[in-house]
Amino acid sequence: MISAVMQNLHDWDTVLCLQIFSMNGRRTLDRIMIAASRLGDGYLYPVIGLVVFLLNRTAAMMFLPAALIAFAIEIPLYKIIKQKIRRARPCNMISEIKNLISFPDEFSFPSGHTAAAFLMAALLSAFFPAFIVPAYLIAMVIGVSRIYNGVHYPGDVLVGSLIGLVSAKIGLLIIG
């Protein structure tokens, strides 16, 4: 029964993945989604920390430790899960899907880019509530871009977002 449920989830994941991937081929949207995916590569997160420090040192004294703790949880967690599950990327399994971007490793589940984006969105919105909408909107676009670009299934993105949110919550609880 469990294997039937898992197969059903995988089938739905594949159908949604194909639907999202089928939107590509539009030059402007392709460029936006490739840029969004690169935005989630992680280079921006230290810059955000620096900007927070420069603009609000009081908030930075809590934001930066919370971010360090959260990333110290998120990064090993998603890597361990990825190595345990070893789910092949959709571009390697579905003939209709070609990756539009390179990917950092061979497996897709969960999405580390999405985990990091949602972690940062949660932290930014906790310290700067005015940024809740743009922070989560950017995180969602990063997640969708990973599907659009052919390197993740929707389920990878969903679980990645949960890992990011939980890691951020733990970081916030620890710095309390």
Domain ranges for the chain: 2-175
24 compared with 121, residue with greater pLDDT: 121
pLDDT, tens only, 67-108: 999 999 999 999 999 999 999 999 999 889 998 899 888 999
Under 8 Å between Cβ of 60 and 53: yes
Q: How many CB atoms lie within 10 A of CB 154?
A: 21
* Average pLDDT of the segment spanning 60-66: 95
Angstrom distance (rounded) from CA 175 to CA 160: 23
pLDDT, tens only, 105-148: 899 999 999 999 999 999 999 999 999 999 999 999 999 999 99
Under 8 Å between Cβ of 156 and 87: yes
| φ and ψ at residue 88, rounded to 5 degrees | -70, 145
Predicted confidence band of residue 22 (pLDDT cuts 50, 70, 90): confident
- Is the pLDDT at 6 greater than 80? The verdict is no
Which residue is associated with the tokens 């599907």? 147
- The pLDDT value recorded for residue 5 is 67
Angstrom distance (rounded) from CA 97 to CA 99: 7
Spatial neighbors of 35 by CB under 8 A, at least 6 apart, are none
